[in-house]
A and B are shown apart, each in its own frame.
Chain A
């Protein structure tokens, strides 16, 4: 684990103010952290999503790193090409794919291909648990029972666990992170940059307009998700470890009440007591899986 101190972080900005991100945007938090962690080495590859808009238009770019806008399903394949070109030409640069849960749903084939080939890149999926940019439609990673515009009575299917899928895909480095713990995320990015091959980070990104909470609560909501055990922070670099921020919550009695997390969000306002009990059961199940993985790997 790489320990990151706030005072040691670079003051240079890689995400410039005055961009089109919404108030309290979690992607903006993630993107600025990416700059703080890896700086000039980043070459960003972005499929369609909120970040396409945040990047700016015409002659103004919000990013200080180069950014390639690519068709939806192609992002990891483009990064594969970039990585090969950098190596062939002897140029410095880390291809970083930055996509949302939409990009990883639609581009799963290329994501899978790049991972199997162990192509040189870092993939970050900033997961706001729905297709926010197109109007809050259900995605593969939308939380069970969460309301979206295409699941007005709550999503019926289970949230897919993308990070565990990538772990089973034998990626060289896999981690989960949260915009509520940016130092942890920056540490994981730096760790990933020291490893060769295919590296994957699943970033939990609570979205104020999409989830229905106040823009001032983005960080609080992300932290609540970790504290109630619904989002588990872990890292795999050859060895599977639960990250220190999540460690205490392996003990169920230490977790924050689940209702505290759910009741603050408009997308969960319709939940019954039975639904909440079922979510709690699923969270316990997830913890059993993650704790077992710590023993196995």
Chain B
């Protein structure tokens, strides 16, 4: 029975970072720590570490919501094959 119980785990669909076409690149110098990107990340792939944001690229699907919501333009979406 034990194996039938689903436990909370990251990556229930695997490493969804592989879905990405565009990668969010974060520029700390432009950031004013408003945390809007953290609040509006649909994937919940942005963490707040010591008041600063950190993107979990293992799971970020590259939707681009964070870059759109950032008033300071501190996140830029760059094509994965151009990196």
Binding site for B on A (CB under 8 A): 6-7, 9, 11, 13, 15-21, 23-26, 28-29, 32, 55-64, 182-183, 208, 214-220
Ordered by A's residue number, 28 sampled pairs between the chains whose C-beta atoms are within 8 Å are A16-B11, A17-B11, A17-B16, A17-B44, A17-B59, A17-B60, A18-B16, A19-B13, A19-B16, A23-B63, A24-B65, A28-B43, A32-B44, A55-B12, A56-B6, A56-B13, A59-B5, A59-B7, A60-B11, A61-B6, A61-B8, A62-B8, A62-B12, A183-B39, A215-B65, A216-B63, A216-B64, A219-B68
Q: Find out whether the CB atom of B34 lies under 8 angstroms from the CB atom of A182.
A: no
Q: Find out whether the CB atom of A18 lies under 8 angstroms from the CB atom of B11.
A: yes
Give the number of residue pairs across the A-B interface with Cβ within 8 Å. 116
Q: Find out whether the CB atom of A28 lies under 8 angstroms from the CB atom of B13.
A: no
How many residues on the B side are at the interface (Cβ–Cβ under 8 A)? 40
Q: Does B28 belong to the interface (CB within 8 Å)?
A: no
Give Cα A18–Cα B10 distance, bound, in whole angstroms. 6
Specify the chain B residue showing the minimal Cβ separation from A36: B39
Q: Find out whether the CB atom of A18 lies under 8 angstroms from the CB atom of B58.
A: yes
**A60-B12, A63-B8 known; A214+B64 contact, CB < 8 A:** yes
Give Cα A59–Cα B19 distance, bound, in whole angstroms. 22
Specify the chain B residue showing the minimal Cβ separation from A26: B42
Q: Which residues from chain A contact B59 at a C-beta distance below 8 Å?
A: 17-18
Q: Which residues from chain A contact B12 at a C-beta distance below 8 Å?
A: 16, 18-20, 55-57, 60-62
* B21 to A: closest C-beta gap in Å: 9
